[in-house]
Amino acid sequence: MRVLGIDPGLTRCGIGVVEVDAARRASLVAVSVARSDKKLATHFRLRDISIAIEQALARYQPEIVAIERVFAQDNLQSVTTTMQVMGAAMTAVGRAGLPLAVHTPSEVKAAISGSGTASKAQVQHMVARILGLKEAPRPADAADALAIAICQAWRGTGLLGAEGEGTVQVSLSGGVSAKKTLTPAQQQWAQAMAASRRKGAVDPQRVR
């Protein structure tokens, strides 16, 4: 299963691609950071980020894309621009006809480290360990994108469906549940993920 993770940001948008086999072993395919020029108007910056994501989708051909959900912060401007990037990313994924999953920061932390309150340093350390790297990719946006991708591969939840987030879920035992009829792309992803989960019974936390 190939998953592309996106850590949305207007100045730096992390893009990470991982391959995960039936035994939950994850390997690095690619990682990068899409940047935008601060001197440009916001819509041009969003265009550049969107183009970078579209290029990554075309080049690495993931079976599903995962993105981190934005939560309210004290900095309203930061939240607003990050949500705009999230929208641009979702549009790019939609144009590619791929399934999309959304995860909260705590879900990503829990999947990677076993704790939903893990620090960024702890998550980055685990990303490097899981992927067999000497150190986590930098900047942090790159490692975060890989963490999001790994989270999706291991958990199989958060898939957007006709009724919104979380309407489709693949359990660890390989069962598929959906509140509404799936699109062909969602059906293909769910079947592949279910088959993968039925074949492998390895607890992802044992990687630690």
Work out the average pLDDT over 6-25.
94
* Residues 141 and 32 sit within 8 Å (Cβ to Cβ): no
Question: Residue 206's pLDDT is what?
Answer: 40
Do both 65 and 123 map to the same domain?
yes
Do both 95 and 14 map to the same domain?
yes
Q: Is residue 9 part of a domain?
A: yes
Mean pLDDT of all residues belonging to the chain: 83
Do both 138 and 182 map to the same domain?
no
Residues in the chain, overall count? 208
Q: Which two tokens stand for residue 167?
A: 């309407």
Question: Which structural domain, as residue segments, surrounds residue 180?
Answer: 168-199
Work out the average pLDDT over 129-141.
94
Q: Which residue ranges are tagged as binding site?
A: 7, 68, 141
Question: Residue 11's pLDDT is what?
Answer: 95
Do both 145 and 177 map to the same domain?
no
Q: What would you report as the CA-atom Rg of the chain, rounded to the nearest whole angstrom? A: 16
Q: Label residue 129 by pLDDT band (50, 70, 90).
A: very high
Question: Residue 151's pLDDT is what?
Answer: 95
Q: Which residues have C-beta within 8 Å of that of residue 147, sequence separation ≥ 6?
A: 5, 16, 108, 109, 111, 112, 123, 124, 126, 127
Task: Give the number of domains in the chain.
Answer: 2
pLDDT in tens, 77-105: 778 899 999 999 999 999 999 999 999 99
CA–CA gap between residue 11 and residue 161 (Å, rounded):
29
Active-site annotation holder among 37, 141, 163, 203: 141
Q: Is the pLDDT of residue 141 over 90?
A: yes
The string of DSSP codes covering 115-179 is: -TT--HHHHHHHHHHHHT-SS--SSHHHHHHHHHHHHHHHH---EEETTEEEEEEE-TTS-EEES
Do both 47 and 103 map to the same domain?
yes
Known active-site residue 163? no
CATH number, domain with residue 117: 3.30.420.10
Known active-site residue 141? yes
Tell me which of 51-55, 104-108, 201-205 is least confident: 201-205
pLDDT in tens, 29-70: 999 999 999 999 999 999 999 999 999 999 999 999 999 987
Known active-site residue 68? yes
Q: Label residue 195 by pLDDT band (50, 70, 90).
A: low
Do both 114 and 190 map to the same domain?
no
Active-site annotation holder among 21, 54, 63, 68: 68
Q: Which residue ranges are tagged as binding site for Mg(2+)?
A: 7, 68, 141
Q: Is residue 83 part of a domain?
A: yes
Q: Label residue 185 by pLDDT band (50, 70, 90).
A: low
